[in-house]
Structures are given as structure tokens and as C-alpha cells.
A = this chain, B = another copy of it.
Amino acid sequence: MNDTIRYVLDEFDLPRAWYNLVSDMPQPPHPPVNPWTGKPLEPTELEALFPRAVIEQEISTEREIPIPDPVRNLYKQWRPSPLYRARRLEQMLDTPARIYYKYEGDSPAGSHKPNTAIPQAFYSKQQGAKRIATETGAGQWGSALAVAGSMLDLEIEVFMVKVSFEQKPYRRAFMESYGATCIASPSEMTEAGRKVLSDDPECRGSLGIAISEAVERTLDSGETNYALGSVLNHVLLHQTVVGQEALKQFDIAGDYPDILIACTGGGSNFGGIVFPFLGRQLRGGEAVKIIAAEPLNCPTLTKGKYAYDFGDTAHLTPLIKMHTLGSGFIPPGFHAGGLRYHGMAPLVSQCTDMGYVEPRAYSQSACFEAGLRFARTEGILPAPEANHAVVAVFEEANRCKLEGVSRAILFNLCGHGHFDMPAYMDYFSGKLHDQQYNEEDLGLALAGLPTVSI
């Protein structure tokens, strides 16, 4: 029996800077656009929401952005995270592939999200904020920010989509355990929420409404910042600790990935593991094949359009150039809440548009099946989001077998599934159907994209 190898780093190997892919991109990013003026957004327009340090990171072109010592010290609670060589899995798949995975499930919130929650909370605190307001859909982001808030002594207010608030009481209890306040959205607490409730008292909420409420709270309550868990450049930047550690661990393993795989929802997990390797390639280093694994039910990169669109359904955000299914697109119900987003991080979209990334979409039943095979072989039960990466790994490992070639495959196991048992229960009970999105709805959503000419 070939057994799993765990590559462990000590605290001295924790990166001292985040890596900014923008510095190595052959073309600059497309700027966000103010929907009212049709002109590129001025960074100062964001100051009502985000701390200045975060805005600077959002537009920075520096290659390395130093990680403040207090953030590095808090990272050390669980970082560096382990890299595994999955030799048991290789044997089960009977593949010549060398399969590696980076594991982010040992964080206090059980996912990669604290990598950005902590610096965002730090910069808010540093600038004198007392509170951060945010929204959460499935609950991963709210959980991570709750942990960060408790570590940095900031109040956290989480507007949680009402349907999740009701269906996922454990997620809510987890946030409350860290002292966060969790509010079912739409709520009576904001003008936006009250308006929705007066139109429809039974409204179960949406991420769009929750964003509106969190933004309104931020603007109205003073000493309050807003924080986002994915999509934006600075969020992906913070996640690059993952890929940078993996680079060091590959040095120790004496290997280098031929293929990089990550699941994509808003893009932060993907950017975190991929960008440090892609940057090396862009600087003339080793080339890697990069695969973005997304759900067939919300196929942003495989079926979306690369265009300017709103980041939210309520059209409160700036317009950003990204792969999008249209902000009006509502994916059919499926169990990877972190991947239910109509858009994509602009940087991930740009990389895909330039041909650096091969996107692939997978059905959710294939993902659950792969995730369970992974759990029964490697021991760790993945979050449903991570299962999308696992099924892509199986596909590539099988290709290695068919071609008789040994390639090194690295993927990010972005979180454990301990909070996701209802999803696995639905899979076991056969309740989980691979409902296809409606082509006509997608066509309509895409037809409704705003016109931007800059």
C-alpha cells in the first residue's frame, strides 16, 4: 500500500508577502465602471465601503504586497497548511499520475475563507472601524468573517439570505459562537429590507438583497466597513498564500505540477492556488495546464459571456468586466452554495479569456460521487464545492492512465464537508437531481447585459 505523504512547513515558511498577478499580466485589468457615469470608477468612490489599504491593494500593480505582521501572526493559527501527496488515491484510480492536494480545511472556519477575512478585518480595525457588515449565502464567508472579527475584536454583522438562515441553523449558530450577529435578510433593519418586505412579506431573500442591506448598514451606521469574500482583486491577492506555500512544498517534494485544478465560484479559491504558479509561467518559468472546475448548473466560465456586468442582482455594485451569465440568471438549486454566482473574479475571467485557463463544467451527482470516493480513500470528506475539483482530478488522472503518462496534478481541497451533511444526505437519499439550467432563461439573462463603452 502506498500511503499518503503530508508535507508540513514551519512558520518561517509562511509567506511574507501576497503575490499580485496583475504585475505579471501582459495586459492591465479592465477597470471597474461606475454605472451612473459610464466612466472608470475612481478608487476614492470605494472609500465609504472599504478601508484605504484594501482599495490600494485592489488597484495595485506591485508584484509583492507585504503581509502585515499581525496578520501573519494570526495566519499562524493554522498556516502554513499541509500539502498532501495522495498516493492512496493514485493507487485506487490505478493511475500513473502523481496527485497532490493542498488542504485548507484545518482553518478555524474549515475553509480557505479566513485567508482574506483576517486581513480585511485587520485593515478595517487599523483604520478605526468598529464593525464590519457583510452578506452570506451558504454561510462559509460569514463564518470566516465571524472568526476574524472575534480575533481582532470587531463587531461582525452578517446579513444571511433568509432561506439559508432557516435551512442552516448550524451555520448561524457557528457565527454566533464567535460573537457575530446574524440577521435574516430581508430584514426590518434597513430601508432596502423594509421595502422588499412591504412588497412581499414572505420573501425568502437573495444574495442581491443581502448585499443591499449590508451596504446600507455600512453607509448608515458609521465606523463600519463592508467586506466581500470573493471576486475582487484584493480578495484573490490574500488567497495567494495558498499557492505560494504550495510552491515551497513542491520544492521539498522535488516535483512541480503539470496540471493545476481548482473549483471556481467567485474565483478566490482558484486565484489563491493558481496565481503564484501562473505568475511563474508568465515570467518565463514552467508552463502549467490550468483547469477551472465549475458546476454545470452555473457554468459561468464555460457558457457565460466575457462582458461588463453588475456584481449583484440588485445592480448596486460597479460594473466589472468578467465572465457572467447575466446578473438576472438564477441557477437551479444545487448543493455547492459557494459556487452559485452568476459572475466571476475579473482576474480569473481575464486569464480565461487570454487562454491561460481551461474551464470545465461538471454535474453535481458526478461531483458527489467523486467526493465520496476521495473521502473513502484519503480520509477527508470534502466540501461540495471542492468536489468539483476532485472530479476534474479524476478525469485528468484517468487521461494519464489512458495515455500511459505520469503527470503531476495539484488541486486545492478548499474545505471540509463537516458543515455540509444535509447535502450529502440528499445525495444518499436520491433527492439530488441534475437539474439543467433553462437555456432560454440564460439567453434572456445574457441579452440583458448592460452596454458599456470605455
Q: Which residues of B contact A188 (CB under 8 A)?
A: none
A428 neighbours in B (Cβ, 8 Å): 173, 176
**Nearest residue, chain B, Cβ from A118:** B379
A77 at the interface (CB under 8 A from B): yes
- Size bracket, chain A contacts: 35 or more
A108 within 8 A of B: yes
Answer whether A77 and B6 are a contact pair too, CB < 8 Å, given A1-B70, A173-B424, A381-B177: yes
Q: Which of A110-129 contact B (CB under 8 A)?
A: 110
Q: CB-nearest residue of chain B relative to A73?
A: B3
Residue of B nearest to A105 (CB): B106
A 146-160 binary contact with B (CB < 8 Å = 1; else 0): 010011000000000
What residues of B have a CB within 8 angstroms of the CB of A417 in the complex? 177
Per-residue CB proximity of A2-17 to B under 8 Å, as 1/0?
A: 0111101111000000
> Which of A3, A11, A178 has most chain B Cβ within 10 Å?
A3
The interface residues of chain B lying within 8 Å CB-to-CB of A422 are 170, 173
Q: Which chain A residues numbered 41 to 98 have a C-beta less than 8 Å away from chain B?
A: 70, 73-74, 76-78, 88
Q: Is A432 an interface residue (CB 8 A)?
A: no
A378: shortest Cβ distance to chain B, in Å?
Answer: 7
B108 touches A379 (CB 8 A): yes
Given contacts A4-B73, A8-B10, A150-B375, 16 further A-B contacts (CB under 8 A): A1-B73, A5-B11, A6-B11, A74-B379, A77-B378, A77-B380, A106-B106, A147-B379, A151-B377, A151-B379, A170-B421, A173-B421, A174-B424, A177-B372, A177-B417, A178-B376
